């Protein structure tokens, strides 16, 4: 079967940088699915994206589907041909129904004897036809965070489509999308290349594009950017951070990445570094340059151009950055005229949340929660720095700097607190209390920061859960998932062995201005919510699904303890005894069902196996209790597992559901005690084992 390559380019106006990569992958997936439905598959598939193009290349696509052969049986040969061998009416009727000439009928063997058959070759559909239907369907099935309409309205897409290249084996795959017909023509870089490009296949396409200053491969663009940036930085004796996120974003903002270096007035280095680097990275997407003694007054910018011919690009970027830094310095100096404490009254005018009061009130609640948590972890010596930090923690929301650089909330407060002479535990707590800011981010490093971060989040969760605003599905407008995950991450990271339920209750109840009620309901929802977050975190740490279920089933509110038990379980389950234990646990669970059998009476044991089990159990339980008290969960679990030979023996030798009611009750009671004692650690019956 002959195969060909297929090239698809959807040329658009600039697609938002974060959408480029997901879009080209989505396109590849949808086309592959569409082709598979039609029975077509390529040997390989590659997709690429630039801000102005979504590109798909399929190699080794068969030029058509396999021909199909069909054979349909008709009347018996005896009825189909007369004595002279001419076809009868029956034969002719059959041939007509099968739409083939009578002369093409053949006689074949069949279970009925010799039978007339109609054989047909159904030619395979040409791939070009399949593509012409499947590709537009796939494109229209693409989803984006936001779509738009243009021109006369009509269909929406991520950005206006300006050209389509669709070529298979040198031929145009004909279709139309958004009023644009597919063809062989595209354009190169809109600024650097004037000529149109006519292509007949993928390899030619890549060559011509690159010759026209378009690099289709985002990974290549990213490499070029980092290499170029490193070279420019080392020219001034500095280096750039590996900053992968920014480099990836920059790669998807240009079609031909060039780099320029600029500098800013060294006096701006007096500003706190966080502010200077945020202005560079977040606002301007520059790569900061660092030297041996720290940040240098240089930056590297990316341009969608080959060179900065007259130096205007560097000059322009420098001018903008200096303007932004001058602004930042203006805010900094304005802000510094007022101490953080004196800003606190202004917080009464800043609403935290509709119905949940203002930030001044929040500050008060967070102070109290901070104190509670400090006590809960046994560090009453930290109450003072924590409550001081809490009191000042939101003051920076009234500063010009935070109004301008909103991501720097907390950081700015911490910096200002430091400049005002607050001790380290206080200013660092303020600085860090919004961390972790996301999944990749670290929790606060300072202990006071960790306490404050937890207190702030408990307060936020408390208020919103009290109002019943539990996140559903994909809607979490207040970032509650992140807040709860943050608490779980902090607690487990620090190993704080605390039952957080009373703290959560205090958080819910702290909203005294709300109408009475909603606390216990909120608490119940919050427990479920924390269970999910705990599950996520434990999964990320490598615990398997069943381990997590086993552990969460036995208590959520002490997160660190749950994590310890999950880790213990992951290790303990590797022993063979453990496997037997799990099977036994499941068996016990099945036998007991809903029964609450009470305590076993040793006088009622009849079999040796019962007595042996009871003895081993009592011994194990004593040891397990000791181990639990010192939280040596792995040893505890292995100790529990050590009675599984006795359990196996018991099940082999003893009939639990025996006819005598007293004995039966007693046996159930024995099993019940075992289950009760050991399942405090984990619900072993949740563990999945191969039989």
Partner 1 sequence: MSAKLSRVITLQRLITDLTAYWEEKGCLIEQPYDYPMGAGTMHPATFLAVLGPDPWRCAYVQPSRRPADGRYGENPFRLGRHLQLQVVLKPSPEDVQELYLHSLERLGIDRTEHDIRFEEDNWESPTLGAWGVGWQVVMDGMEITQFTYFQQAGGIDLAPISAEITYGLERIAMFLSKVNSIYDIHWNDAKTYGELRRADEFQMSKYSFEVADVGRTTLLLDQYELEAQRCLAAGLVMPAYEATLQCSHLFNVLDARGAVSATDRVGWIRRVRNLACACAKAYLAAREKAGEPEPEPAAV
Interface with partner 1 (CB under 8 A), residue from 86, 207, 349, 676: 349
| Contact mark string toward partner 1, 86..115, x via CB under 8 A | ------------------------------
**Given the rule CB under 8 A, which of 106-114, 320-328, 451-459, 596-604 is the region that contacts partner 1?**
320-328
Q: Which residue has the tokens 């690159």?
A: 210
Q: Is 155 one of the binding residues for partner 1 (CB under 8 A)? A: yes
Interface with partner 1 (CB under 8 A), residue from 47, 50, 305, 363: 305
498 and 560 Cβ atoms separated by less than 8 Å: yes
Phi, psi of 119 (to 5 degrees): -105, 130
Q: Is 475 one of the binding residues for partner 1 (CB under 8 A)? A: no
Least distance to partner 1, CB of residue 187, Å: 11
Q: Is 284 one of the binding residues for partner 1 (CB under 8 A)? A: yes
Q: Is 404 one of the binding residues for partner 1 (CB under 8 A)? A: no
Interface with partner 1 (CB under 8 A), residue from 211, 231, 323, 524: 323
| CB crowding 279-304: b at 16 or more within 10 Å, else e | bbbeeeebbbbbeeeebbbbbbbbbb
Q: How far apart are CA 523 and CA 433, in angstroms?
A: 24
- CA terminus-to-terminus distance, the chain: 48
Is the CB of 148 or the CB of 622 nearer to partner 1?
148
Q: Is 141 one of the binding residues for partner 1 (CB under 8 A)? A: no
Q: Is 337 one of the binding residues for partner 1 (CB under 8 A)? A: no
Q: Is 310 one of the binding residues for partner 1 (CB under 8 A)? A: yes
Q: Is 14 one of the binding residues for partner 1 (CB under 8 A)? A: yes
In sequence order, the 6+-apart residues with CB closer than 8 A to the CB of 582 are 573, 684, 685, 687, 689
Interface with partner 1 (CB under 8 A), residue from 16, 126, 471, 645: 16
Least distance to partner 1, CB of residue 621, Å: 58
Is the CB of 330 or the CB of 380 nearer to partner 1?
330
The residues that bridge with 256 in the sheet, in sequence order, are: none
Half-sphere exposure of 576 (CA within 13 A, CB side): 2
Q: Is 477 one of the binding residues for partner 1 (CB under 8 A)? A: no
Is the CB of 88 or the CB of 353 nearer to partner 1?
353
Q: How far apart are CA 510 and CA 370, in angstroms?
A: 13
Burial degree of 399 (CB within 10 A; 0-12, 13-18, 19+): buried
Interface with partner 1 (CB under 8 A), residue from 97, 106, 148, 219: 148
Q: Is 301 one of the binding residues for partner 1 (CB under 8 A)? A: yes
In sequence order, the 6+-apart residues with CB closer than 8 A to the CB of 203 are 5
Q: Is 254 one of the binding residues for partner 1 (CB under 8 A)? A: yes
Q: Is 354 one of the binding residues for partner 1 (CB under 8 A)? A: yes
Q: Is 248 one of the binding residues for partner 1 (CB under 8 A)? A: no
**Given the rule CB under 8 A, which of 86-94, 143-151, 290-298, 428-436 is the region that contacts partner 1?**
143-151
**Given the rule CB under 8 A, which of 28-36, 296-304, 589-597, 643-651 is the region that contacts partner 1?**
296-304
Q: Which residue has the tokens 């036998």?
A: 591
Least distance to partner 1, CB of residue 106, Å: 52
379 and 447 Cβ atoms separated by less than 8 Å: yes
443 and 435 Cβ atoms separated by less than 8 Å: yes
464 and 353 Cβ atoms separated by less than 8 Å: yes
Of residues 46-85, those binding partner 1 (CB under 8 A) = 51
Burial degree of 373 (CB within 10 A; 0-12, 13-18, 19+): buried
Cα dihedral 210, 212, 215, 221, rounded to 10, equals: 110
Q: Is 160 one of the binding residues for partner 1 (CB under 8 A)? A: yes
Of residues 619-678, those binding partner 1 (CB under 8 A) = none
Of residues 175-204, those binding partner 1 (CB under 8 A) = 191-192
The residues that bridge with 304 in the sheet, in sequence order, are: 257
Q: Is 41 one of the binding residues for partner 1 (CB under 8 A)? A: no
Least distance to partner 1, CB of residue 139, Å: 16
Is the CB of 315 or the CB of 528 nearer to partner 1?
315
- Binding-site size for partner 1 (CB under 8 A) equals 47
Region of residue 473 (phi > 0: left; psi between -120 and 50: alpha; otherwise: beta): left
Query: Which residue from 290, 326, 460 is spatially nearest to 404, judged by alpha carbons?
Result: 326
CA distances from 2 to 168, 169, 449, 560 (A): 12, 10, 66, 62
Is the CB of 159 or the CB of 221 nearer to partner 1?
159
Of residues 597-616, those binding partner 1 (CB under 8 A) = none
**Sign of the alpha-carbon torsion through 19, 22, 25, 29:** negative
Residues lying near partner 1 in the complex (CB under 8 A) are found at 13-14, 16-17, 51, 146-155, 159-160, 162, 191-192, 253-254, 284, 286, 301, 303-305, 308-310, 312-313, 315-317, 319-321, 323, 326-327, 330, 349-351, 354
């Amino acid at each position: 079967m002959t195969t060909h390559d297929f090239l698809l380019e959807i040329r658009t106006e600039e697609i938002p940088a974060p959408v480029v990569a997901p879009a080209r992958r989505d396109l590849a997936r949808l086309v592959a699915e569409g082709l598979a439905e039609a029975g077509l598959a390529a040997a390989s598939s590659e997709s690429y994206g630039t801000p102005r193009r979504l590109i798909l290349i399929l190699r080794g696509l068969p030029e058509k589907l396999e021909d199909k052969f069909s054979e349909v049986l008709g009347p018996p040969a005896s009825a189909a041909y007369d004595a002279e061998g001419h076809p009868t009416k029956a034969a002719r009727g059959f041939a007509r129904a099968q739409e083939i000439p009578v002369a093409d009928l053949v006689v074949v063997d069949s279970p009925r004897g010799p039978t007339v058959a109609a054989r047909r070759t159904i030619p395979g559909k040409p791939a070009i036809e399949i593509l012409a239907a499947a590709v537009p369907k796939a494109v229209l099935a693409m989803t984006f965070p936001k779509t738009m309409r243009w021109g006369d309205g009509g269909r929406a897409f991520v950005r206006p489509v300006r050209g389509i290249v669709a070529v298979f084996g040198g031929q145009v795959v004909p279709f139309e999308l958004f009023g644009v017909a597919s063809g062989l023509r595209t354009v190169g870089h809109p600024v650097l290349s004037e000529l149109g490009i006519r292509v007949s296949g993928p390899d030619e396409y890549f060559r011509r594009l690159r010759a026209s200053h378009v690099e289709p491969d985002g990974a290549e663009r990213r490499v070029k950017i980092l290499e170029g940036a490193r070279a420019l930085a080392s020219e001034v004796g500095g280096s750039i951070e590996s900053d992968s996120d920014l480099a990836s974003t920059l790669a998807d903002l240009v079609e031909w990445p060039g780099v320029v270096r600029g500098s800013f007035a060294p006096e701006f280095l007096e500003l706190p570094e966080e502010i200077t680097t945020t202005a560079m990275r977040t606002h301007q997407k520059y790569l900061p340059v660092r030297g041996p003694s720290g940040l240098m007054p240089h930056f590297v910018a990316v341009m969608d151009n080959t060179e900065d011919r007259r130096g205007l690009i560097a000059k322009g970027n420098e001018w903008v950055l200096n303007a932004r830094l001058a602004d930042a310095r203006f805010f900094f100096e304005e802000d510094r005229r007022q101490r953080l404490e004196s800003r606190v009254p202004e917080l009464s005018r800043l609403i935290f949340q509709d119905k949940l009061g203002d930030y001044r009130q929040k500050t008060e609640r967070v102070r109290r929660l901070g104190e509670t948590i400090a006590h809960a972890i046994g560090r009453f010596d930290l109450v003072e720095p924590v409550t001081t930090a809490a009191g000042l923690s939101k003051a920076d929301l009234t500063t010009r700097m935070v109004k301008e650089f909103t991501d720097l909330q907390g950081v700015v407060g911490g910096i200002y607190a430091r400049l005002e002479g607050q001790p380290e535990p206080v200013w660092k707590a303020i600085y860090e209390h919004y961390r972790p800011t996301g999944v990749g981010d670290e929790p606060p490093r300072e202990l006071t920061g960790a306490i404050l971060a937890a207190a702030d989040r408990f307060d936020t969760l408390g208020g919103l859960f009290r109002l019943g605003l539990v996140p559903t599905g994909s809607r979490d407008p207040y970032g509650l998932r992140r807040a709860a995950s943050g608490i779980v991450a902090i607690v487990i990271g620090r190993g704080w062995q605390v039952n957080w339920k009373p703290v959560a209750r205090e958080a819910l109840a702290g909203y005294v201005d709300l109408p009475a009620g909603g606390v216990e309901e909120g608490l119940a929802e919050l427990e479920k919510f924390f269970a999910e977050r705990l599950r996520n975190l434990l999964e990320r740490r490598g615990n398997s699904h069943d381990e997590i279920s086993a552990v969460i089933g036995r208590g959520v509110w002490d997160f660190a303890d749950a994590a310890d038990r999950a880790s213990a379980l992951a290790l303990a389950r590797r022993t063979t005894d453990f496997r037997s234990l799990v099977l036994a646990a499941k068996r016990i669970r099945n036998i007991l069902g809903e029964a609450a059998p009470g305590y076993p009476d040793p006088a009622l044991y009849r079999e040796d196996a019962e007595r042996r089990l009871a003895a081993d159990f009592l011994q194990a339980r004593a040891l397990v209790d000791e181990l639990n008290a010192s939280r040596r969960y792995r040893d505890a679990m292995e100790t529990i597992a050590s009675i599984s030979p006795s359990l196996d023996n018991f099940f082999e030798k003893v009939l639990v559901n025996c006819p005598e009611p007293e004995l039966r009750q007693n046996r159930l009671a024995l099993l019940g005690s075992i289950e009760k004692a050991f399942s405090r650690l984990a619900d072993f019956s949740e563990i999945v084992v191969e039989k």
